[in-house]
């Protein structure tokens, strides 16, 4: 499992400056059905849409491809408490304490700077329909299976059910006697469940919207102070897991599992130390025995719980214990949880203004079944859903197994659009539509300004190249009526595309998810819209949505013959790059033995090359970690040119030619490097620009490695250089690796890499790993085989993440090349001495390689070992080193002590070390005294 908390996902306080950014609470998070983006709703009254690839992929995060923030939506006037993507992926529903439910649709022309801020929307989403009806805060939303219904609940104690096609209100359920704070749907489609502060969960039938059952027992003593009571229905339809339940007269906080049919709660999920706020089932069913057929006895589910104790637990219903418990993930309570549709990623949001992401490997969630298994299993219930309103369809869904990319929402066309389409192609069954309401002379619709309609400015293209602003009524955002007469529909769709002056905008065949307005409120005349501007040109989304077919269909082409002037505007949608029109080619890898290409560099003396030069190959490649980008070089076996290319998948993005054959390549998340046979190194950005002058080392490159902004080059003469590519500076003067090779006979270098801080890591065949210390101007040992002979904390056999656990990965590499020593008799203190020495060495290595997590981990293990052994002198010296001078001030002259180590405050680390010592039998008094001293020093610093 991988855990991450992207710091850049945040809702900011706009009243603060960039230097004094304050995080505002995030109340809701929901992941798009195709997993490409998440939406968050916060205290700033805004909805923010983020790309998930930079969250899950470190390389994508570093190169900002795709952009992290995709869109900011700011139509609500109060905090956004809940957001939910439709299952189709076309719509986004949001609920706020402004009492409004808003439905959002993709707006291809909505990119650009956000009004009143410095933010830029990479993609546009527009308010498609307002759903008024609640009289207080809207606390939760849920889409029914296949988006047949939308349910909204709020602090007015009311449940509103909306048609998922017409977006008109169907039912108002007001039988709750307290704030309603959670709603979910039965995956079968037969029931809906709601949870309220009246300490009940109510089950409603979808056939007649009457009460099926009421569950009260596990909620009788539940506190009423929670923000939400978000419940979830299992994907097999068998259980509901409800939050905010208790056992033992309210002293034990649980999540109650309610069984379908009997509607009783005999199962409790126990373990959280405070109220459970939200439950969320994984959308997949799981098989207890994957080899057995799908049957009720072989099915289980996975559910995640978020609580006010700041922890998250994940349970599998076949086990009495949780799979995972993540404690103190946030600084404040968890507000919302959302699983990705593939069931492998869990997103959590907290009122502290951050989100956390848990990403699992398929092997970690044992028995996960495909969605087709769930569909097959749900057929056994035999429930037949109500018919779809005539002329409406949500199409296929993004998570369907067939034609996901063709998913679309197709409301019936307006009369004007139908008329224009009939001129270009036959309509086999035209549907009659009510005529639009007559317009007043002002051109804004029959009821201009009625009901306090607010004027907003909208950009409209005219026949000249200039743009002018034309006012449009706020009522142009259709609003669902709460009366029965609202079911009579009027058209709010703009007319079909027409030629506008110099350019005819091509309207892509993206079915409009803006519904025909089913509101009794006035709508503007079609003449006040410009369909081409609203729909934009062909969509070029940075993060495509599977639910949208953004390709141009043949029906939309050739409707108007292009004029000569059109060619001035009709530029290719994809910008040109150097060599970008050429497909990527594959080359057989062979060693080049041609004498004309073999280096003829004069040898100054015998054995001038300290290290062997690698063979010259016809093809070399280096992948950018975490992405599909690949940097390649092709050396010609004859007199042809040497070529380097940068490709994405099968397409070349750019290329360059070099005067000498390439010996080595490297590619980091920010740059690429090519070392040639003549001792030169060329450094490029990912767009193909040379970031610095060509480096010349006078000796061929033997090993080269890049990490983020650091580039390391090791030449055949033994010279090692470490360069900061961003600042175009050297981390330290070039140094020789000769001292490392002379440490033992026949010693060779097995690998040479670099850390992001420029620290090189040299692994030698002698079983020792080195780095260069800039302060000492000397090579120092990171780790060595010696520690494996007696240290209790040697991690040689553990698999480690090279980015986060670099020291552990070094120990693993040393172990893989070591020969086990025969067992020997050792002195009494052997293991203790080697364990402490190994931990002290590991602290220095983690500090040199800038690995804060490993430094902290080693420090706490070291403190535990000192406490176990009762070494008071060592413990006191460690405390003083972390505490520093008692009267130290940042502006003081004493520079011998710094308050930070490996990017962490020393005194913060000391608090954790003292908490280890205080539990010791021999160091308790020492720890308590220093805890008091530390507390006084902290109080003095605050004064």
Please choose, from the candidates 111, 123, 65, the residue with its C-alpha nearest in 3D space to the C-alpha of residue 548. 123
Pick from 120-124, 166-170, 549-553: least confident: 549-553
From CA 190, how far away is CA 616, in angstroms rounded? 68
Report in angstroms the alpha-carbon separations of 297 from 240, 317, 375, 627. 18, 12, 17, 42
| HEC assignment per residue over 569-635 | HCCCCCCCCCCCCCECCCCCCCECCCCCCCCCCCCCCCCCCCCCCCCCECEEEEECCCCCEEEEEEC
Q: Tell me which residue has tokens 């309509």.
A: 427
Token reading at 397: 């869904």
pLDDT of residue 20: 57
Q: Confidence class of residue 941 from pLDDT cuts 50, 70 and 90? A: low
> Does 742 have pLDDT greater than 70?
yes
Report in angstroms the alpha-carbon separations of 95 from 13, 79, 179, 479. 20, 9, 15, 14
pTM: 0.52
Burial of 935 (0-12, 13-18, 19+ CB in 10 A): exposed
pLDDT of residue 558: 42
User: Between 473 and 832, whose confidence is greater?
Assistant: 832
pLDDT of residue 108: 80
pLDDT tens string 575-593 = 777 876 677 777 788 888 8
pLDDT of residue 802: 65
Q: Which residues pair with 302 in a beta bridge?
A: 316
Please choose, from the candidates 762, 766, 842, 772, the residue with its C-alpha nearest in 3D space to the C-alpha of residue 807. 842
From CA 378, how far away is CA 927, in angstroms rounded? 60
- 851-863 exposure pattern, b = at least 16 Cβ within 10 A, e = fewer: beebbbbbbebbb
> Does 505 have pLDDT greater than 80?
no
Average pLDDT over residues 771-776: 94
> Does 632 have pLDDT greater than 90?
yes
> Does 910 have pLDDT greater than 60?
yes
> Does 113 have pLDDT greater than 60?
yes
Pick from 299-313, 549-563, 564-578, 840-854: least confident: 549-563
> Does 289 have pLDDT greater than 90?
no
The helix or strand, by DSSP H or E, that contains position 72, with its residue range, turns out to be strand 69-73
pLDDT tens string 827-861 = 889 999 999 999 999 999 999 999 999 999 999 99
From CA 269, how far away is CA 54, in angstroms rounded? 34
pLDDT tens string 305-328 = 999 999 999 999 888 889 999 998
In this structure, the dihedral spanned by the alpha carbons of residues 919, 922, 926 and 931, taken in order and rounded to 10 degrees, is 0
pLDDT of residue 335: 94
Q: What is the mean pLDDT of the chain?
A: 80
pLDDT tens string 399-448 = 443 333 333 333 333 333 333 344 444 444 444 343 333 333 333 333 33
- 390-428 exposure pattern, b = at least 16 Cβ within 10 A, e = fewer: eebebbbbbbbeeebbebbbebbbbbbbbebeeeeeeee
From CA 373, how far away is CA 401, in angstroms rounded? 11
Among positive and negative, which fits the CA dihedral 500, 502, 508, 509? positive
Token reading at 472: 């449009």
pLDDT of residue 435: 39
Pick from 599-603, 811-815, 870-874: least confident: 599-603
pLDDT of residue 37: 93
pLDDT of residue 801: 60
pLDDT of residue 892: 54
Collapsed DSSP state (helix, strand, coil) of residue 801: coil
Average pLDDT over residues 333-357: 94
Neighbours of 780 (CB within 10 A): 14
> Does 394 have pLDDT greater than 80?
no
pLDDT tens string 174-196 = 999 999 999 999 999 999 999 99
Q: Which residues pair with 103 in a beta bridge?
A: 93, 129
> Does 573 have pLDDT greater than 60?
no
> Does 291 have pLDDT greater than 90?
no
pLDDT of residue 821: 66
Q: Confidence class of residue 531 from pLDDT cuts 50, 70 and 90? A: very low
> Does 864 have pLDDT greater than 70?
yes
Average pLDDT over residues 375-389: 86
Query: Do 790 and 803 form a contact (C-beta atoms < 8 A)?
Result: no
User: Between 112 and 385, whose confidence is greater?
Assistant: 385
Q: Tell me which residue has tokens 């302060």.
A: 775
From CA 448, how far away is CA 193, in angstroms rounded? 41
pLDDT of residue 634: 94
Pick from 103-107, 350-354, 524-528, 811-815: least confident: 524-528
* Percentage of the residues of the chain whose pLDDT score is greater than 70: 75
pLDDT of residue 443: 34
Pick from 436-450, 740-754, 799-813: least confident: 436-450
Average pLDDT over residues 886-908: 76
> Does 824 have pLDDT greater than 90?
no
Please choose, from the candidates 757, 851, 763, the residue with its C-alpha nearest in 3D space to the C-alpha of residue 802. 851
Q: Confidence class of residue 22 from pLDDT cuts 50, 70 and 90? A: confident
User: Between 63 and 357, whose confidence is greater?
Assistant: 357
pLDDT of residue 776: 93
pLDDT of residue 226: 83
pLDDT of residue 602: 46
> Does 605 have pLDDT greater than 80?
no
Collapsed DSSP state (helix, strand, coil) of residue 814: helix
Q: Confidence class of residue 549 from pLDDT cuts 50, 70 and 90? A: low
């Amino acid at each position: 499992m991988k855990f991450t908390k992207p710091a850049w996902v945040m809702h900011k306080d706009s009243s603060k400056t960039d230097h004094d950014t304050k995080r505002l609470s995030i109340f809701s998070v929901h992941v798009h059905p195709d997993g490409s983006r998440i939406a968050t709703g916060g205290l700033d009254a805004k909805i923010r849409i983020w790309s998930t690839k930079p969250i899950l992929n470190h390389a994508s995060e570093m190169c900002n491809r795709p952009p992290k923030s995709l869109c900011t939506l700011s139509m609500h006037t109060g905090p956004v408490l809940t957001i939910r993507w439709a299952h189709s992926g076309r719509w986004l529903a949001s609920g706020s304490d402004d009492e409004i439910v808003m439905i959002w649709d993709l707006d291809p022309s909505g990119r650009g700077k956000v009004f009143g801020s410095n933010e830029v929307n990479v993609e546009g989403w527009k308010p498609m329909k307002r759903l008024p009806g609640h009289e207080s805060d809207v606390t939760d939303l849920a889409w029914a299976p296949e988006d047949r219904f939308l349910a909204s609940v709020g602090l007015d104690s009311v449940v509103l059910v909306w048609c998922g096609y017409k977006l008109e209100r169907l039912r108002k359920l007001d039988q709750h006697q307290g704030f309603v704070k959670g709603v979910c749907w039965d995956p079968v489609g037969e029931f809906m469940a709601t949870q309220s502060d009246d300490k009940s969960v109510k089950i409603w039938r979808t056939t007649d919207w009457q009460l099926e059952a009421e569950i009260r027992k596990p909620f009788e003593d539940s506190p009423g102070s929670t923000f939400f009571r978000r419940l979830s229905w299992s994907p097999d339809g068998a259980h509901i897991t409800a939050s905010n339940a208790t056992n033992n007269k309210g002293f034990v906080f649980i999540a109650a599992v309610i069984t379908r049919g009997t509607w009783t709660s005999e199962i409790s999920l126990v373990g959280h130390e405070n109220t459970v706020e939200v439950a969320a089932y994984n959308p997949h069913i799981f098989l207890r025995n994957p080899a057995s057929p799908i049957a009720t006895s072989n099915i289980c589910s996975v559910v995640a719980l978020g609580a006010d104790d700041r922890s998250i637990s994940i349970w599998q219903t076949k086990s009495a214990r949780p799979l995972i418990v993540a404690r103190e993930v946030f600084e404040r309570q968890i507000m919302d949880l959302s699983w990705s549709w593939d069931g492998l990623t869990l997103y959590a949001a907290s009122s502290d203004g951050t989100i956390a992401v848990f990403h699992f490997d398929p092997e970690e969630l044992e028995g996960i079944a495909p969605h087709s298994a769930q569909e097959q299993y749900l057929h056994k219930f035999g429930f037949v859903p109500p018919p779809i309103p005539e002329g409406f369809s949500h199409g296929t869904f993004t998570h369907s197994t067939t034609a996901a990319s063709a998913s679309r929402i197709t409301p019936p066309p307006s009369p004007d659009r139908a008329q224009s389409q009939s001129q270009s192609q036959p309509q086999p069954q035209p549907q009659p539509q009510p005529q639009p309401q007559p317009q007043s002379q002002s051109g804004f619709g029959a009821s201009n300004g009625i009901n306090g309609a607010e004027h907003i400015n909208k950009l409209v293209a005219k026949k000249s190249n200039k743009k002018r602003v034309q006012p449009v009524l706020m009522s142009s955002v259709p609003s669902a009526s709460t009366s029965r007469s609202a079911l009579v529909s009027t058209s709010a769709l703009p007319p079909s595309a027409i030629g506008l002056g110099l350019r005819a905008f091509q309207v892509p065949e993206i079915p409009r998810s803006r519904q025909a307005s089913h509101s009794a409120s006035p709508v503007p005349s079609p003449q006040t819209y410009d369909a081409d501007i609203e729909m934009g040109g062909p969509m070029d989304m940075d993060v495509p949505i599977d639910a949208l077919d953004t390709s141009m269909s043949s029906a939309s082409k050739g409707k108007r013959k292009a004029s000569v002037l059109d060619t001035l505007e009709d530029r290719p949608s994809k910008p040109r790059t150097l060599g970008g029109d050429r497909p990527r080619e594959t080359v057989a890898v062979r060693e080049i033995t041609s004498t004309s290409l073999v280096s003829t560099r004069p040898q100054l003396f015998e054995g001038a090359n300290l290290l062997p030069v690698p063979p010259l190959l016809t093809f070399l490649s280096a992948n950018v970690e975490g992405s599909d980008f690949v940097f390649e070089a092709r050396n010609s076996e004859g007199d042809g040119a040497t070529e380097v290319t940068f490709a994405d998948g099968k397409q070349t993005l750019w290329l360059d030619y070099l005067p000498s054959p390439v010996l080595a390549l490297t590619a980091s998340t920010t740059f690429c490097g090519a070392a040639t046979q003549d001792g030169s190194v060329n450094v490029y950005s990912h767009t193909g620009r040379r970031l610095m002058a060509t480096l010349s080392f006078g000796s061929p490159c033997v090993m080269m490695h890049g990490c983020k902004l650091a580039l390391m080059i090791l030449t055949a003469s033994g010279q090692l250089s470490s360069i900061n590519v961003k600042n175009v500076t050297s981390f330290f003067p070039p140094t020789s690796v000769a001292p490392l090779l002379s440490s033992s006979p026949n010693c060779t270098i097995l690998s040479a890499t670099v850390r992001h801080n420029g620290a090189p890591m040299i692994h030698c065949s002698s079983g020792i790993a080195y780095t260069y210390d800039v302060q000492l101007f000397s090579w120092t040992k990171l780790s060595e085989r010696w520690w494996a002979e007696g240290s209790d904390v040697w991690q040689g056999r553990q698999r480690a993440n090279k980015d986060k656990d670099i020291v552990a990965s070094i120990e693993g590499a040393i172990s893989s090349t070591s020969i086990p020593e025969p067992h020997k008799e050792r002195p009494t203190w052997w293991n203790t001495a080697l364990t402490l020495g190994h931990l002290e060495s590991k602290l220095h290595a983690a500090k040199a390689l800038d690995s804060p997590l490993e430094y902290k981990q080693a420090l706490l293990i070291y403190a535990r070992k000192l406490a176990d052994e009762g070494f008071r002198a060592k413990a006191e010296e460690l405390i003083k080193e972390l505490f520093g001078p008692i009267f130290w001030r940042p502006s003081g002259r004493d520079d011998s002590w710094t308050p930070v180590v490996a990017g962490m405050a020393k005194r913060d680390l000391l608090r954790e070390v003292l908490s280890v010592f205080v539990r010791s039998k021999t160091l308790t008094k020492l720890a308590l005294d220093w805890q008091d001293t530390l507390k006084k020093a902290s109080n003095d610093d605050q004064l």
